[in-house]
Amino acid sequence: MKTNIQDCNFSSLGEELGAIDTDNLLIVVDSRVWQIYAKELVENHPKDKKIYLYKTLEGEATKNVAEFEKGLEFFLEKGIHRDSYLVAIGGGATSDFAGFLASSLLRGLKWSVVPTTLLSMVDASIGGKTGINSKHGKNLIGAFHLPENVWIIEDFINSLPKEELDSGLGEIIKYGFLDKEISKTLTSKCSLSEVIEACARKKEEIVQSDFKENGARISLNLGHTFGHALEKIYDLPHGVAVFWGMALIFKLYDGESFLKTLRSFETSLGADFGAPPWLNKTFPVKKIMEYVTKDKKRKSNEELQLVLVEEVGQFKAVSFKISDIKEKLEQSKDDLRSFNF
Ligand SMILES: NC(=O)c1ccc[n+]([C@@H]2O[C@H](COP(=O)([O-])OP(=O)(O)OC[C@H]3O[C@@H](n4cnc5c(N)ncnc54)[C@H](O)[C@@H]3O)[C@@H](O)[C@H]2O)c1
């Protein structure tokens, strides 16, 4: 199955929702998004369907077992049927949560996404990974459940806080290393619309070739192993942490020539992530290793795969012993303290 990715505006979204073959629409919307966009969404909702509206907590706060149970019971109490159709409206947290609801209610309902953050437009809404967090870690409970449509309304970007915008830009920069055409797009000062479309299509193409992440899909993890650690340690927006995670990978694993490219993508996108968060501080090897060891993409107790870039558009996933990664960080920690580029 393939997800249809389509540019929309509020009124054409209304037409798309109207055309869904169901008489029950289950709308799961981020409460912050609802606060800002209720008028546009209500004006354009289809009048010939029963609509059940469920407002989630803002962002990540909704991705837990207690909120999930609330969501399930809310819809079950309405007496929904198997041809009910779910639509998620929000960022990646909302689509993860709502997609998991769709996968679980009555053993699986069809669903679609309206992403409202830049990160979700280029990444989280596409690919069918859905889920919630456990007290043992992020995204540990979930299912693969592909949405039928991703309807992108770029107007949502206008109300994004700067850190959410930066987060999306960091993930976009990652695509610049995974695809030569996107790399050219990024450096030729194309519009943000063109960039969003190119990245969303790239993600869809990767997912099509490797739905369950046994091959090419691992490339999307570029910068993420160290990035997740940096995100927590320095409290950074996710995509910005991925940017610094890529910098560390390039510095430590023979990719220094890509550091200039990293900054050039940042400049072309009009982003400014400043200096590395570790600059002039003790490099936090121990803390980084705590997170690296917990990496949920790990498939063995001793080893994990890092995604390395060979040249722009070409990557390889290489298995490393966790002890070797630690040793490399220990050996480089003095150098890293002053590592800027
Ligand atoms: N399933 C996947 O493939 C995948 C991929 C990447 C990330 N994710 C998940 O996505 C989540 C992060 O998603 P995100 O970065 O989109 O952020 P988010 O969904 O957590 O939203 C971030 C904040 O922005 C607010 N917001 C959303 N849209 C807005 C708008 N248009 N205007 C103003 N505020 C708005 C939300 O209320 C929230 O406070 C994480 O939980 C991550 O695990 C999933």
DSSP 242-278: HHHHHHHHHHHTT-TTHHHHHHHHHHHTT----S-TT
Q: Is 87 within 8 Å of 113 (Cβ atoms)?
A: yes
Atom 41 of ligand 1, residue of closest alpha carbon: 93
Whole-number Å distance, alpha carbon 117 to ligand 1 midpoint, is 6
What's the whole-model pTM score? Answer: 0.95
Ranges of each domain in the chain: 4-158, 162-337
Is 174 a pocket residue for ligand 1 (Cβ < 6 Å)? no
Is 276 a pocket residue for ligand 1 (Cβ < 6 Å)? no
The Cα 295–Cα 155 span in angstroms is 35
- Across 68-106, b (16+ Cβ under 10 Å) vs e yields beebeebbeeeebeeebbbbbbbbbbbbbbbbbbbbbbe
Q: What is the pLDDT along the chain (341 residues), one digit of tens a residue?
A: 889 999 999 999 999 999 999 999 999 999 999 999 999 999 989 989 999 999 999 999 999 999 999 999 999 999 999 999 999 999 999 999 999 999 999 999 999 999 999 999 999 999 999 999 998 888 999 999 999 999 999 999 999 999 999 999 999 999 999 999 999 999 987 899 999 999 999 999 999 998 877 778 899 999 999 999 999 999 999 999 999 999 999 999 999 999 999 999 999 999 999 999 999 999 999 999 999 888 767 778 889 999 999 999 999 999 999 999 999 999 999 999 999 99
- How far, rounded to the nearest angstrom, does the alpha carbon of residue 269 sit from its chain's CA centroid? 18
Q: Is 145 within 8 Å of 103 (Cβ atoms)?
A: yes
Structure tokens at 340: 């800027």
Atom 20 of ligand 1, residue of closest alpha carbon: 59
Q: Is 28 within 8 Å of 112 (Cβ atoms)?
A: no
Return the pLDDT at 138: 85
Whole-number Å distance, alpha carbon 184 to ligand 1 midpoint, is 27
Is 32 a pocket residue for ligand 1 (Cβ < 6 Å)? yes
Is 179 a pocket residue for ligand 1 (Cβ < 6 Å)? no
Please state which of the four CATH numbers 3.40.1190.20, 1.20.1090.10, 1.10.1060.10, 1.50.10.10 is assigned to the domain occupying 162-337: 1.20.1090.10
Please state which of the four CATH numbers 2.30.33.40, 3.40.50.1000, 3.40.50.1820, 3.40.50.1970 is assigned to the domain occupying 4-158: 3.40.50.1970
Return the pLDDT at 50: 96
